[in-house]
């Protein structure tokens, strides 16, 4: 802005002053400032008003305001008022380099009062291209400053006979230019403020819209900024966190660790990636991936910035995956071991049974034999559990109602848990049916109940509950609230000792037990796990040390009606018969046991060591063969092929498959094809004779569904 007293003194000296005109000029300035142009909302309108007043007061034909482009390479007209036409316009542009003398003079902060614009060294550059075409004879230009910088010019252009710019007119023009400077300065400030506010708001929306938590602390560790995700995650409002240190926000241990990290970030002076544990509002520990970085603001103050994401769920999923991969590997191993043991145990228990049947009641060897048999039985049941865990067990699933299963077990469970434990059942009458093997489900419930009992040595409360649920806690991904009830849930809860996190992480591993030697084998839960997974469900555990534990089994619901509970019970053992049985089995011990067993029960037995031999016998045996008892897994030709080929020549033969292993020709994913007769290894002589009788007695007119739904006539 130009101080009016800095005008060249000679312009005020010895010149005639028209007092009336000076008064007009003063009152015009007065009017202008009273119209409060600083508050103008519309800059163009405010400038337009000012050029009008100036033009009228100085009786100047053209009054215009020009502003420099950003690089000061051009200047453009933002407002032009033509007095006689009473017209406003704008838009003309001049290149600075085309008028060097003029712009040099302007930059020197002069008032350019050119009485004869065509002759004046400062303005003659305009003569040909600008002044003449418009008929301009005199010019008076005053620079405009905004925020201390040359920003433009206020131009007065006189048309007609030449004109002398009087000192009062020059002073008036300078005052008007100063006023315009103020208006434009104010306008620029307001625009800058608005832009700043907009940018701050945009930045805030940016910081608040993501998922990442962001915060800033000063050097003393006081929070100075936090975004909305931060407030949401920790359920804090600004007044809760602003100006607070970690020690006022988090538990002391957490705060200590965070502060240590912050200090080392300040000391290191570079961004750092960290994993920090900060509890959620419910107190549960959450793991955060945090990027912390030191920075200095414009005033030189140091701050710590942080961006963080909650990786708790991610970690849990990773852990779940790791866990299930481990279980898969252990399961394969366990299944393999169990398979090999099955043959051996069949022989051990089978022969002890046969010997027991043969020796007299008072034989001195009887006790020893009983011990062998008992050990064999126990080992068989362990093997069964391993098979269940490794999901290699043969399931006979049917549609069933879990409520009925629980109700049927209730009496036994009550006896199992004893008097100090209060057993409660809460069964949802609307519970949907599931498809599972009832015997296996009973086994799973019993294992859970026994564990619950063991967890409450001083007594307590044991609840068995059923309900329809939409999703399991394992299905964390689906977030929709109204899920259809896809699962039937069975929960077993106790008020016992509970488990810490380390124990919980391992409970489903086979042979993991915290019980004293001899009290637990650690196969209970691994069996449950296997049964549930093999049935297409999930199992979940929630436990708190000292408070109790809840296991939840989720089984997928099915639409089929519940099958009636099985018909007449298969009669007790000691079944006999006279039919002819062809045994094909590659393991000599098992083959001999089966032969001995069946012969002792009156059957005629034909033996084959492999499929080819069986087919040869089938071809050459003169009499009827009533039953083919075939091991499923055999080298060269498996049991299923043997049966199929034998059935071609002897279509009336009934087939009983024997196996200790489920992933094979007749059992797929552990599920037996309907109508297939199957005996699981290891079997006892009683199991065998019972099963053989059952198959032989099964209705003859029903087409024998061979394996996998393939119908074989005859």
Ligand X SMILES: Nc1ncnc2c1ncn2[C@@H]1O[C@H](COP(=O)(O)OP(=O)(O)OP(=O)(O)O)[C@@H](O)[C@H]1O
- Binding residues vs ligand X (CB under 6 A): 447, 451-452, 455, 494, 496-499, 503, 507, 512-515, 520-526, 549
**Residue 393 interacting entry, from ligand X, Mg ion, none, C-beta within 5 to 8 Å by type:** none
Handedness of CA 221, 222, 225, 227 (dihedral sign): positive
Q: Which of 524, 530, 548, 660 binds Mg ion (CB under 5 A)?
A: 524
Which residues on neighbouring strands pair with residue 493, listed in sequence order? Answer: 463, 550
Residue 576 CB-density burial (10 A; 0-12 exposed, 13-18 middle, 19+ buried)? exposed
CB of 494 to Mg ion, least distance (A): 12
Nearest-approach distance from CB 525 to ligand X, in angstroms: 3
Which among 622, 626, 588, 623 is positioned nearest to 608, based on CA atoms? 588
Closest CB to ligand X among 332 and 515? 515
Count of residues touching Mg ion (by CB under 5 A): 2
Pairwise CA distance, residues 249 & 226, whole Å: 13
- Beta carbon of residue 510, minimum distance to Mg ion (angstroms, whole number): 12
Q: Which does 64 bind (CB under 5 to 8 A by kind): ligand X, Mg ion, none?
A: none
Contacts 24+ apart (CB under 8 A), 77-82: 78/44, 78/47, 78/152, 79/44, 79/47, 79/48, 79/51, 80/51, 81/48, 81/51, 81/52, 81/55
Pairing of strands 213-218, 604-608: unpaired
Q: How far is the CB of 499 from Mg ion (least distance, A)?
A: 12
Question: Based on CB atoms, which residue is closest to ligand X, 491 or 590?
Answer: 491
Report what 526 binds from Mg ion, ligand X, none; CB cut-off 5-8 Å by kind.
Answer: ligand X
Contacts by residues 421-425 (CB-CB < 8 Å, ≥ 24 positions apart) = 421/452, 421/453, 421/456, 421/459, 421/460, 421/461, 421/462, 422/459, 422/460, 422/461, 422/462, 423/462, 423/464, 424/461, 424/462, 424/463, 424/464, 425/463, 425/464, 425/465
* Closest distance to Mg ion from the beta carbon of 590 (Å): 31
167 versus 524: smaller Cβ distance to Mg ion = 524
- How many Å apart are CA 493 and CA 132, to the nearest integer? 102
The first and second tokens of residue 290, run together, are 């945090």
The stretch among 485-493, 521-529, 601-609, 613-621 that binds Mg ion (CB under 5 A) is 521-529
Of the pair 323, 521, the CB lying nearest Mg ion is at 521
Residue 521 partner contact from Mg ion, ligand X, none using kind-dependent CB cut-offs of 5 to 8 Å: ligand X
Residue whose structure tokens are 């009683």: 686
Segment contacting Mg ion by CB under 5 A, of 9-17, 254-262, 401-409, 524-532: 524-532
CA neighbor of 168 nearest in space, from 1, 30, 2, 20: 20
Task: Provide the angle, in degrees to the nearest 10, between the axes of the packed helices 167-209 and 43-58.
Answer: 180
**Closer residue to ligand X (CB): 515 or 565:** 515
How far apart are CB 388 and ligand X at their closest, in Å? 12
**Would residue 269 be called left, alpha or beta, if left means φ above 0 and alpha means ψ between -120 and 50 degrees?**
left
Distance CA 682, CA 593 (A): 11
Closest approach of Mg ion to the CB of residue 525, in Å: 6
Report the partner that residue 65 touches, choosing among ligand X, Mg ion, none (CB closer than 5 to 8 A by kind).
none
Q: Please give the Cα distance from 344 to 590 (Å, whole number).
A: 8
363 makes contact, choosing from ligand X, Mg ion, none, with CB < 5 to 8 Å by partner type, with: none
- State in angstroms the smallest separation of the CB of 535 from ligand X: 18
Instruction: Pick out residues in 443-462 that bind Mg ion (CB under 5 A).
Output: 451
Is the distance from CB of 543 to CB of 498 less than 8 angstroms? yes
Least distance to ligand X, CB of residue 344, Å: 22
214's tokens: 């962001």
In the bound state with Mg ion, the residue whose beta carbon lies nearer, of 380 and 451, is 451
Per-residue binding letters, 469-508, with Mg ion (x by CB under 5 A)? ----------------------------------------
* Residue with Cβ nearer Mg ion (81 or 529): 529
Q: Which one, 336 or 520, has the nearer CB to ligand X?
A: 520
Q: Which of Mg ion, ligand X, none sits in contact with 503, Cβ below 5 to 8 A by type?
A: ligand X
Rg (the chain; Cα; Å): 49
Least spacing, CB of residue 460 vs ligand X, in Å: 10
C-beta contacts of 169-172 below 8 A and 24+ residues apart: 169/21, 169/25, 169/58, 169/140, 170/7, 170/11, 170/111, 170/113, 170/140, 171/4, 171/7, 171/25, 172/25, 172/28, 172/29, 172/54, 172/57, 172/58
Residue 595: cis peptide before it, omega within 30 degrees of 0:
no
CB of 519 to Mg ion, least distance (A): 9
Residue whose CB is less far from Mg ion, 2 or 497: 497
Q: How far is the CB of 208 from ligand X (least distance, A)?
A: 44
**Residue closer to Mg ion, measured from CB, 343 or 451:** 451
Out of ligand X, Mg ion, none, which partner does residue 514 contact, by CB within 5 to 8 A per kind?
Answer: ligand X
- CB-nearer residue toward ligand X: 266 or 512: 512
Task: Please identify, using beta-carbon distances, which residue of 229 and 496 lies nearer to Mg ion.
Answer: 496
Residue 112 contact partner, candidates Mg ion, ligand X, none, CB within 5 to 8 A by sort of partner = none
**Residue 90 contacts which entry, Mg ion, ligand X, none (Cβ below 5-8 A, type-dependent):** none
Q: Which residue is nearest to ligand X (CB)?
A: 524
Structural contact between residues 236 and 280, judged by C-beta atoms closer than 8 angstroms? no
- Strand stretches in 72-135, DSSP E: 74-82, 87-89, 93-95, 112-114
Residue 673 CB, shortest distance to Mg ion, in Å, is 33
Q: Which is nearer to ligand X, 447 or 706 (CB)?
A: 447
Residue least distant from Mg ion (Cβ):
524
In terms of CB distance, is 385 or 706 closer to ligand X? 385
Nearer to ligand X, 455 or 615 (CB): 455
Decide: 265 and 258 in contact? Cβ < 8 Å.
Answer: no
CA distance 410 to 560: 25
**Nearest distance, CB of residue 520 and Mg ion, angstroms:** 6
- How far apart are CB 449 and ligand X at their closest, in Å? 9
Tell me the two tokens of residue 321.
């995956």
User: What are the phi and psi torsion angles at 110 (to 5°)?
Assistant: -85, 160
Q: Do the Cβ atoms of 230 and 207 come closer than 8 Å?
A: no
Query: Which of the listed partners (Mg ion, ligand X, none) does 494 bind, with a CB threshold of 5 to 8 Å by partner kind?
Result: ligand X
Please choose which of ligand X, Mg ion, none residue 177 contacts, taking the beta carbon within 5 to 8 angstroms, the exact cut-off set by kind.
Answer: none
- C-beta of 74 vs 416, nearer to Mg ion: 416
How far apart are CB 333 and ligand X at their closest, in Å? 17
143 backbone dihedrals φ, ψ, rounded to 5°: -65, 150
Element containing residue 157 per DSSP (H, E): strand 149-159
Q: Which residues bind Mg ion (CB under 5 A)?
A: 451, 524
């Amino acid at each position: 802005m130009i101080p009016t007293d800095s005008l060249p003194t000679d312009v005020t000296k010895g010149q005639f002053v028209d007092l009336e005109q000076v008064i007009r000029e003063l009152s015009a300035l007065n009017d202008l400032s009273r119209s409060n142009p600083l508050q103008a909302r519309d800059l163009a309108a405010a400038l337009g008003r000012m050029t009008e007043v100036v033009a009228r007061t100085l009786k100047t034909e053209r009054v215009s305001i020009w502003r420099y482009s950003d690089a000061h390479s051009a200047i453009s007209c933002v407002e032009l008022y033509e007095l006689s036409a009473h017209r406003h316009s704008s838009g003309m542009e001049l290149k600075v380099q085309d008028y060097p003398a003029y712009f040099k003079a302007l930059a020197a902060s002069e008032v350019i009062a050119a009485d004869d614009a065509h002759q004046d060294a400062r303005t003659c550059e305009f003569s040909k291209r600008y002044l003449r075409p418009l008929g301009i004879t005199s010019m008076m230009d005053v620079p405009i400053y905004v925020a201390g910088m040359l920003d433009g010019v206020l131009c007065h252009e006189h048309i007609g006979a030449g004109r002398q710019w009087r000192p009062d007119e020059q002073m008036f023009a300078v005052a008007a230019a100063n006023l315009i400077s103020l208006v434009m300065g104010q306008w620029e400030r307001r625009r800058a403020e608005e832009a700043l506010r907009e940018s701050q708001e945009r930045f805030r929306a940016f910081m608040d819209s993501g998922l990442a938590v962001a915060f800033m602390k000063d050097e003393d560790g006081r929070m100075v900024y936090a975004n909305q995700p931060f407030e949401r995650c920790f359920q804090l409002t600004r007044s809760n966190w602003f100006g607070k240190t970690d020690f006022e926000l988090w538990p002391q241990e957490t705060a200590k660790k965070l502060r240590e990290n912050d200090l080392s970030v300040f000391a290191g002076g570079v961004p750092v990636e960290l994993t920090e544990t900060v509890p959620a509002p419910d107190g549960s520990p959450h793991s955060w991936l945090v990027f912390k970085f030191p920075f200095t603001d414009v005033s030189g103050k140091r701050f710590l910035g942080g961006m963080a994401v909650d990786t708790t769920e991610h970690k849990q999923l990773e852990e779940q995956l790791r866990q299930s991969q481990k279980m898969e590997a252990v399961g394969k191993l366990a299944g393999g071991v169990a398979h090999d043991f099955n043959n051996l145990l069949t022989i051990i228990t089978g022969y002890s049974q046969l010997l027991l049947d043969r020796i007299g009641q008072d034989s001195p060897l009887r006790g020893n034999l009983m011990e062998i048999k008992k050990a064999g039985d126990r080992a068989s049941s362990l093997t069964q559990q391993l098979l269940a865990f490794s999901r290699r067990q043969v399931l006979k699933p049917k549609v069933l109602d879990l409520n009925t299963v629980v109700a049927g077990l209730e009496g036994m469970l009550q006896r199992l848990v004893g008097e100090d434990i209060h057993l409660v059942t809460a069964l949802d009458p609307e519970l949907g049916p599931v498809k599972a093997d009832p015997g296996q489900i009973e086994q799973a419930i019993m294992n859970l109940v026994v564990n619950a009992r063991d967890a409450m040595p001083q007594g307590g409360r044991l609840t068995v509950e059923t309900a329809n649920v939409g999703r399991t806690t394992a299905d964390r991904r689906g977030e929709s609230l109204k899920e259809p009830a896809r699962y039937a849930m069975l929960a077993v809860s106790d008020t016992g000792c509970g488990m810490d996190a380390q124990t919980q992480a391992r409970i489903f591993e086979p042979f993991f037990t915290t019980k004293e030697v001899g009290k637990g084998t650690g196969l209970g839960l691994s069996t449950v796990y296997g049964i549930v997974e093999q049935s297409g469900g999930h199992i979940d555990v929630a436990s708190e040390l000292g408070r109790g534990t809840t296991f939840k089994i989720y089984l997928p619901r099915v639409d089929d009606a519940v099958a009636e509970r099985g018909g007449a019970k298969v009669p007790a053992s000691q079944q006999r018969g006279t039919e002819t049985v062809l045994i094909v089995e590659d393991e000599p011990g098992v083959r001999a046991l089966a032969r001995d067993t069946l012969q002792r029960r009156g059957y005629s037995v034909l033996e084959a060591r492999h499929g080819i031999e069986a087919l040869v016998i089938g071809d050459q045996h003169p009499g009827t063969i009533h039953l083919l008892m075939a091991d499923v897994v055999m080298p060269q030709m498996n049991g299923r092929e043997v049966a199929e080929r034998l059935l071609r020549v002897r279509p009336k033969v009934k087939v009983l498959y024997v196996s200790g292993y489920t992933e094979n020709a007749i059992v797929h994913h552990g599920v037996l094809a309907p109508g297939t007769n199957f005996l699981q290894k290891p079997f006892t002589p009683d199991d065998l004779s019972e099963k053989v009788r059952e198959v032989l007695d099964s209705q003859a007119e029903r087409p024998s569904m061979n394996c996998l739904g393939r119908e074989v006539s005859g």
